[in-house]
């Protein structure tokens, strides 16, 4: 969503070969928010339209709770993980905030996680590969994204 996508607004037409029939579409989809006298789409470059407002309020803002497996999901990423506070080490703890512990409980310990020794994270997976921004650290910027505050083309929210 780095750039405004153009909306195709077709001129009125009568259904001749190769064209649509505007009046027939309006009759068939009279309750559509995209068709009719209260047309929700706009193609004049403004940042106000019913569809834009709906998407901002219902998709980008607030809390979504329609997923029965995950429960409510805060769309401003307010509950994102803070990987700087992940406890690491042995005894079943991960090797690093981004990777599991690859150690083994050792001979005779079965699957006892408290017998797993602390091991260093696999090279490249200890937070120095790619972005070092934590999910919690980038969440405020991601959560501030709005359709009236578009990021620069080719950049995500907050990346300049």
Q: Please, what sign has the CA dihedral across residues 87, 89, 93, 95?
A: positive
CA-closest candidate to residue 140, choices 57, 74, 52:
74
Q: What parts of the chain have a pLDDT lower than 70?
A: 1-12, 33-49, 124-132, 148-151, 154-160
Q: What is the pLDDT of residue 1?
A: 47
Q: What is the pLDDT of residue 57?
A: 80
Q: What is the pLDDT of residue 151?
A: 66
């Amino acid at each position: 969503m780095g750039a405004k996508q153009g909306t195709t607004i077709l001129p009125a037409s009568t259904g001749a070969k190769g064209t649509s029939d505007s009046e027939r579409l309006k009759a068939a989809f009279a309750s559509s928010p995209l068709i009719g006298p209260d047309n929700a789409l706009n193609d004049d470059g403004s940042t106000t339209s019913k569809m834009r407002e709906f998407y901002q309020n219902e998709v980008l803002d607030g809390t979504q709770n329609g997923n029965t497996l995950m429960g409510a999901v805060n769309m401003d990423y307010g509950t994102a993980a803070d990987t700087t506070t992940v406890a690491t080490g042995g005894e079943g703890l991960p090797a690093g905030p981004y990777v599991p512990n690859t150690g083994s409980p050792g001979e005779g310990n079965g699957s006892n996680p408290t017998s797993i020794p602390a091991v260093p994270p696999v090279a490249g997976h200890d937070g120095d590969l790619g972005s070092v921004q934590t999910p919690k650290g980038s969440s405020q910027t991601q959560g501030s994204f709005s359709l009236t505050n578009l990021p620069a083309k080719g950049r995500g929210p907050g990346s300049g």
